[in-house]
Amino acid sequence: MYTIHAVVLNWNNADDTLKCVRSLRRARHVPDEIIVVDNGSTDSSESVLRTELGRECHIIQTGENLGYAGGMRVGAEYCLQHHSDLIWFMNNDTEALGETLDALLASVERNGLQCMYSPKILHSGDQESVYFSGRYLDVATGELTLDPPPHSMEYGAIESDLVSDVIQGASFIVPVQIIRELGFMDENYFLYFEEYDYSLRLARHGIKCICALSAVVLHRREGAQGSDQLLLDRIRTYYRIRNRILFWRRCCTPDQAKRFIRRHTLEQFRLLTRARTVNDSTAGMRLLALWHGLIGRSGRVYNPQ
């Protein structure tokens, strides 16, 4: 039996974090320990979480917003020091179902410790809508799509264990020995694409990504980034545009990267032209993100605070 720790990341959204943690604790199989990482929240999140969860979870304060990979790395370091075999990383905008962890652990038993694992992820407001059931790099566009390439479906031990190009950062399990031997996600992305980069980097070492289709997690859409909608729109715009370029340069062939970046750049200029005629508060951020991606600027540039 594996020892499994769950790491839940919070930033300025204690309500979602409480829902996520309580879903883990209601499950038939409860993680051996739940670690909540408060990623430098600027609201009352930490005090709320310590009051509500202090006896149930280990709570860590990072002291500043370290981004997605940085915050999860703090939780991973704790797990590495406390004899964990598996680490289940959860965004706070997700909820596990009663059988989720059982199904994930069954997939680990079938496929072993040289894989990373994500559940099938559904939108909580519309459970007919799939957020993740495997993603695949489209070599024509550079986008990560839910649709696998034709005639190339690959399975793990059984057909409900679908081999994906990447895991999904909203919810995934990594065996501790992989982190010890091959490291963790690249913090230079700060937000978005770091789990995709990690997946493709580990694939070069023979590590597969399994989507356990019998395990289901519900996703409420990006609660880990807080609740100020205008701020979130600017954050998302910047890091999604910039980090696509960083991702392609790091994970694709030079010819592919050039082609994908050219297409991406033209698309952003088309959107910028359209923004002149509509009320688009993200237009300036879009241009800044594109420029930073093209010159290779990485890390935390646009500060969520």
pLDDT of residue 106: 96
Q: At 228, is the pLDDT very low, low, confident or very high (cuts 50, 70, 90)? A: low
pLDDT the model gives residue 303: 62
What pLDDT band is residue 1 in, cutting at 50, 70 and 90?
Answer: confident
In degrees and rounded to multiples of 5, residue 300 shows phi and psi of -85, 105
* pTM, two decimal places: 0.93
Q: How do beta strands 126-132 and 115-123 pair?
A: antiparallel
Tokens representing 103? 């199904």
Using the predicted structure, report yes or no on whether residue 280 has a pLDDT greater than 70. Answer: no
Q: Give the C-alpha separation, 79 to 176, whole Å.
A: 8
Domain 4-225 -> CATH class? alpha beta
Q: How confident is the model at residue 222 (pLDDT cuts 50, 70, 90)?
A: low
Task: State the virtual CA torsion across 26, 119, 114, 157 in degrees, nearest 10.
Answer: 110
- CA separation for the pair 211, 104 (Å, rounded): 9
- In terms of pLDDT, which residue wins out, 151 or 70? 70
pLDDT tops 60 at residue 224? no
